Structure 1
Amino acid sequence: MLAPERTALILLAAGRSLRFTHADKLAEPFLDKPLAYHLVTALENIPFLTRIAVVSCTSLDFAARGYRVEENPDPMLGQARSLNHGVAVAREAGAEAVLVALADMPRVTATHVYRMFDAANGADTNVASSDGVQPRPPALFGANLFDDLLALEGDEGARDLIRRGHHVVTSPAELVDVDTREDLEELRKLYGLPTDGK
């Protein structure tokens, strides 16, 4: 059985945010804290073997939140480069699996992540999230898939690998990711907090 204690959390936080007008998207306020800290907070009590944040050009201090911070030396090469780097660090740390999460998905819950572990299949684990239509991160991969993850290239990340895996369905609202300023404004409208503002 795969357990969090033998799993490395890889937080991908090195996106170039080109669709977000070049701002530090992850530091943007949402519900009175930086956008990226919502997922960090949601998963902070899961006893992962290690936590790895792969970053580029963000002002956020993930180290203060218990993460080993790894700078992506080549963010222009796409999301796969961040994933390659995170998996290599996780393998060095002795991880038997990796949970790959995106820092711009602020509504993911620990409950959903534990459901993913319930669906795990040891070293062959390939479990992704789904809104019932489209599979996406967070995704959980066992050690037998590390070589596949390390071989990925470009901006597609592990999309093809995720499509072939087992999918744990949750609410579409939980799997919202913030790519554009409009996406963030839509989330803010749902809560209507005046402190999230301009």
Structure 2
Amino acid sequence: MDKPLLILVLAAGLSRRMGRPKQLLPIGGETLLRYVVKKALTVPHASVAVVGSGESLMKQQCEDLPVVWIENRDAHDGMSTSIKAGISYAQDCSAGSVMILLGDQPGMDPGVLAGMAGAFGAGSSGMLQARYEGKPGHPVMFDRRFFPELLKLEGDTGAKPLLQRHADSLQFWDVNTPVPVDLDTPEEYEHYIRSSEE
């Protein structure tokens, strides 16, 4: 792999609270999924993979972008299945580290992604998490030595158990803005659209 950092955009969620596939919601003249993926693509010296469901309309959003599509057929079993699908691919392509990014956070600042990617590496403790005004959030980065443990995650808790278990290896990337909002409900989506137009 010529780019040692792999950015995993998790986009296989079932959108139960939204009532329709949130990955296809319009944001900034394109779909939410495409909008977030294009932010990930701004990070220098990184490859991008999208972990999605089998929904063909979602895959079509990325067909003309330089990304790999990883299909998660077990999305109904929680976020851990998307992480494991992405980490399995990361191992196959010999990625040195991964950055896990949520596909439903359009307010994510590309500068945060690039800053974290640049800071992670030589001398790193192995895990780096964004922290917004003191509150931990995404993205989260992991050195490849944590891949075996990431592959053992279960349920819908994401990587929290691993972060807690290895708190001594976790460093934070502090950001002086609020945590980017997850668009999980119609109300959150409408509020995001209104606030972005102001």
TM interval, shorter chain, is: 0.7 to 0.9
Alignment map for 1:14-163 (pairs within 5 Å): 14-21=12-19, 23-56=20-53, 57=55, 59-60=57-58, 61=60, 62-122=62-122, 124-162=125-163
User: In structure 2, what is the equivalent of residue 196 of structure 1?
Assistant: none
8 Å contact from structure 1 (residues 136, 159) kept in 2:
no
Give the length in aligned residue pairs: 189
- Give the structure-2-normalised TM-score: 0.86
Q: CA RMSD in A?
A: 2.1
Give the share of equivalent positions with the same residue, in percent: 24
- Give the structure-1-normalised TM-score: 0.86
Q: Which runs of 4+ in 1 moved over 6 A?
A: none
User: In structure 2, what is the equivalent of residue 175 of structure 1?
Assistant: 180
Q: For 1:53-103, what per-residue CA distance to the aligned partner results, in whole angstroms no more than 9, with x for missing partners?
A: 111136232232121111101111100001001001011101000011111
State the Cα distance separating 1:177 from its structure 2 match.
Answer: 1.6
Cα distance change of structure 1 residues 91 and 63 upon mapping to structure 2, 3 Å threshold = farther
In 2, Cα distance between the equivalents of 1:160 and 1:171?
Answer: 26
In 2, Cα distance between the equivalents of 1:186 and 1:173?
Answer: 15
Question: Which runs of 5 or more residues in structure 2 are unaligned?
Answer: none
In 1, Cα distance between the equivalents of 2:21 and 2:161?
Answer: 28
Indicate the SS of the match to 2:64. Answer: helix
Q: Which moved more, 1:52-61 or 1:144-153?
A: 52-61
State the Cα distance separating 1:172 from its structure 2 match.
Answer: 4.1
In 2, Cα distance between the equivalents of 1:144 and 1:169?
Answer: 24
In 2, Cα distance between the equivalents of 1:107 and 1:16?
Answer: 20
Question: Which runs of 5 or more residues in structure 1 are unaligned?
Answer: 194-198
User: In structure 2, what is the equivalent of residue 13 of structure 1?
Assistant: 11
